Structures are given as structure tokens and as C-alpha cells.
Amino acid sequence: MRALLIGGTGTISSAITRLLVEKGWEVTLINRGHRNDELPQGVELLVADMNNEDEVRELLEGRHFDTVAEFIAFVPEQVERDIRLFTGMTDQYIFISSASAYAKPNHDYRITEGTTLANPYWQYSRNKIACERVLMDAYRNDGFPVTIVRPSHTYDERNVPIGVDGSQGSWQILQRMKQGKPVIVQGDGTSLWTVTFNKDFAVGFVGLMGNIHALGEAVHITSDESLSWNQIYEAVGRALGVKPVLYHVSADFLASVAPYDYQGSLLGDKSVSVVFDNSKIKRLVPEFKCTTRFDEGARICVDYMNSHPECRKQDPEFDAWCDQVIETLERAKKALKEN
């Protein structure tokens, strides 16, 4: 079996690349050549810019793949380009969408693939919805062999999943925990969230590859473990050997004052409880089962980040902003109590 991965070195796709090689697939990656130093032996690498359609067409001329997986398309123009490129070149095209495309809060606490797609807070999610629409039209009208996959919050050992962070990832939050400084949690921390380890996600994804029952279908792949944000932060603290000091702040307030895109990531996603019904992926891929509990995943992340300096990205700007938010709210509390 032959696979072409567009990207192939990100949080999700790197685990898929490794698993495909383990299963004996012939794997070709096409990307701009960044972060390819950790690719498993035997992977073919084609360095090209997908935005240069003519260059890619020439590079792939005469080739055929059982599955093409697109990890780095974000707007309709990019999937329209892919339809032109890969029609007749592949038996299956998998598009990575996003579970942030689901309308939240949902009418039912369980999210299924039939849940309405709508996100007024996040352009990223609206673009993914538009991409899905283009691809499903191509499937219905022209038989383009698409499968849509919607990941939720998927992580690997290089970055602990956190709700409120800065531009440099989660390391600064871990530092605040170790220093005994309060860490900001959106809302009251009781909304439910789902995080999925990338190696578990890869099992479901690879099971969809070459799967005729997945054609024309949209599927989300997530863990069945639902945790409150308080539990997520506390699990990270235990992995660090500390009890974190949690400071709860309204998601609306954070989105209105932050220099970061919390409008989309919080109001459009992480501030609302999500529980996923994974019966569809389990029906399509019977072997799919998430085996990494988050407390275990948190320890894997902390151990890896402690031993890999490149993952320990300091973020003094975010650290100072957290202090400013907390100090401002504490002053407001004090002033109101004194009145």
C-alpha cells in the first residue's frame, strides 16, 4: 500500500508516519523540508511548496497512491487545488478538518458526526467547514474519493495540553506551577474536555486509510476520557510533583483583554464542555482504542520536555501578562470588598 502525506511531521501526522512504516506501507512525504530530521528510515521525502501547483503536478506525474492525506490545507482554495491535482491519482483523499467546527454548546452533551457545523467565534473553524463543503460536493457530484477526519485536542510528548497559554506553548505554565505561582484556568474549570495522545489517534487514522467504508464519510477520532480543566491542570501538577495553584478567570474576560487569540480558541472551543461519541470510528476501525490516560500522557510530556531543551521555550511576555491579569482582578476584588 502506498501513501502520500502532505506535511507528515506535525503533532498528528508524525505519529501516523511512524505507524504506517511499522505496518509496511510505502510512505512518501511532500513538504517544505522542515522538521524532517526525525523521519523513520524508508520514508521518501519530496521537498516542494504545495502552493506551487505546477511544480507539484510535475513532481508527482505518473504516480498513484492508495491514500493521499492532507494535513496542511486550511482554506477552500487549497482543497480545490488538491481536487485538481489528485483526481485520478489516488483511491482515497483524507482531509484533516477540526472538531472545533462543531457548534458549541451542542443541543446534546454528546457530539456525533451529525452535530451541526458552525463556529461564529473562529475563522479557522469556519474555513475548515468551507473546505469540507467543497470536498463533499466533489464527492457527490464527481465521485472524488474523500474521507474527512475531525481531530479534537491531540497532543504529543513535546507539549502538554493546556487551556490558556501564550505564543510559545505550555512550558511557561509548567514553570509557573513549579514556582508556586497561580496559573490561569478559563471559567470555573469544571467544563469537560477531551485530549487525545497522538499515538492513539494514529491507530484510528491509519485504520481509515484504504478503508472503502470510509469514503464519503466524516469521522472524528478522540479519546473516550472526559476530564474537567481542573483535573487536566492537576494531572500536570502531579506529573511535576507539585500541587498547582489554579486561578479561575471568565473566558469572556480573557478573550476581551488578551493579546492572544482566545476569542477563537476559548469562546469557540475550549470553554464549552465537549464529550465525543466515538462509535463511528470504532465501527469503521474495530481495533481503535485509546490506551494512554491523560495522567500517563502528562508524565510522558513532562519527562520528555525535561530532557529536551528545545521544548523548554521561555515566554516572559505571557508570564508577565498572567501576573497582570491576576493582580488586576485581585485589586478589583479588594476594592469591591472595601466599598
How far apart CA 122 and CA 138 sit, in angstroms, is 25
Asked if residues 65 and 28 have their Cβ atoms less than 8 Å apart, the reply is: yes
pLDDT at residue 36 greater than cutoff 70: no
What does the pLDDT look like over 56-65, one tens digit per residue? 999 999 999 9
Cβ atoms 104, 268 nearer than 8 A: yes
Question: Is residue 35 scored above 80 in pLDDT?
Answer: no
pLDDT of amino acid 319:
97
User: How would you classify the pairing of strands 183-186 and 218-221?
Assistant: unpaired
Residue found by looking up cell 474576560 in the block = 253
Q: What is the pLDDT of residues 130-169, one digit of tens each?
A: 999 999 999 999 999 999 999 999 999 999 999 999 999 9
Sequence spans of domains, the chain: 2-155+197-221, 171-194+224-274+292-338
CB atoms within 10 A of CB 286: 9
Instruction: Please say if the pLDDT value at position 34 is more than 70.
Output: no
With beta carbons less than 8 A apart as the criterion, state whether 159 and 259 touch. Answer: no
Closest to 156 measured CA to CA, from 307, 7, 309, 12: 12
CATH number 3.40.50.410 given to 2-155+197-221: no
Q: Is 30 helix (H, G, I), strand (E, B) or coil?
A: strand
Q: Residue 337 contacts by C-beta under 8 Å, 6 or more apart in sequence?
A: none
Q: Is the pLDDT of residue 290 over 80?
A: yes
The SS3 assignment for 26 reads strand
Each residue's pLDDT tens digit, 270-282: 999 999 999 999 9
The alpha carbon torsion through 199, 18, 102, 188 (nearest 10 deg) reads: 40
**Within its chain, how far is the Cα of 272 from the centroid?**
16
250 has a pLDDT exceeding 90:
yes
Q: What is the CATH number of domain 171-194+224-274+292-338?
A: 3.90.25.10
Mean pLDDT of the chain: 95
Handedness of CA 197, 123, 168, 8 (dihedral sign): positive
pLDDT in tens, 180-220: 999 999 999 999 999 999 999 999 999 999 999 999 999 99
C-alpha 52/C-alpha 279 separation (Å) is 39
105 pLDDT higher than 90: no
Quote the CA–CA distance of 90 and 84 in Å, as a whole number.
12
What single-letter DSSP state applies at residue 259?
A: S
Distances (CA, A) of 176 to 163, 172, 323: 14, 6, 10
Higher pLDDT, 178 or 261: 178
